[in-house]
Amino acid sequence: MKTTEEKIRQELVEKIAGEMAVAARTAPKARGTDLLEILILTGGDIVLLAEKMKAIGERESHQTFSRDSENIRKALALVLIGTKKKVIGLKYCSFCGRANCAEAEKAGVICAYNTGDLGIAIGSAVSVAMDHRIDNRVMYSAGKAAIEGGFLSEEVIVAYGIPLSVSGKNPFFDR
């Protein structure tokens, strides 16, 4: 029986994407409140996301979305990690610019801990990719397109995409 390197790469990248999702899920979160939503895209779903990114790039005259839409087409998998919006109920903080969580909730602002926890989760996820020498890059453009395109639930307000590749040269850098 023969196994092609291409098949091995695809299977391994999908396995590592799963490990990245687990690392993101188990990353520390403020007050133990888990507001993350994590999704792994492969194949045709990556193409659909790339098309959404391209459409945003054209609509907004935004080169980053257009460029990144072409980059993610080279991905074997793409990990999406987003956060929902919820204040965590601190009496004293004001990191969001409001005096307290009650004011923040009334104003509809994003709790700084929501995005902070998201950043920690993304750092945990990409460290897994790095440990396995999987080419990757954190892309806000992929996350924004995933939100706008309905890939994630309506509760998700901020997300990032992490495309994954195994090649002689990381296709997500030196663009």
Residue-wise pLDDT for 42-75, tens only, equals 999 999 999 999 999 999 999 999 999 999 999 9
Per the domain annotation, does 90 fall within a domain? no
Cα distance between residue 71 and residue 47, in whole Å: 11
Amino acid at 95: F
Q: Higher model confidence: residue 41 or residue 6?
A: 41
Dihedral sign (CA 170, 172, 173, 175): positive
Q: Is 145 helix (H, G, I), strand (E, B) or coil?
A: helix
Per the domain annotation, does 132 fall within a domain? yes
Residue 152's CATH number: 3.40.109.10
Digit-coded pLDDT (tens) for 105-164: 999 999 999 999 999 999 999 999 999 999 999 999 999 999 999 999 999 999 999 999
155's tokens: 């509760």
Per the domain annotation, does 74 fall within a domain? yes
Bridge partners of 20, per DSSP, are none
Per the domain annotation, does 103 fall within a domain? no
How does residue 90 score in pLDDT terms, banded at 50, 70 and 90? confident
Per the domain annotation, does 172 fall within a domain? no
How does residue 2 score in pLDDT terms, banded at 50, 70 and 90? confident
Residue of 137, 138, 143 lying closest to 53 (CA atoms): 143
Per the domain annotation, does 97 fall within a domain? no
| Total-model pTM | 0.95
25's tokens: 């899920």
Residue of 149, 133, 142 lying closest to 163 (CA atoms): 142
pLDDT for the residue 103: 92
Q: Which domain holds residue 129?
A: 5-28+36-84+113-163
Bridge partners of 36, per DSSP, are 83
Instruction: Give how many domains the chain has, as a whole number.
Output: 1
Per the domain annotation, does 135 fall within a domain? yes
Q: Higher model confidence: residue 39 or residue 92?
A: 39
pLDDT for the residue 91: 83
Per the domain annotation, does 56 fall within a domain? yes
pLDDT for the residue 175: 62
Exposed, middle or buried by CB within 10 Å (0-12, 13-18, 19+), for 91? exposed
pLDDT at 92 over 70: yes
Are 109 and 98 within 8 A, CB to CB? yes
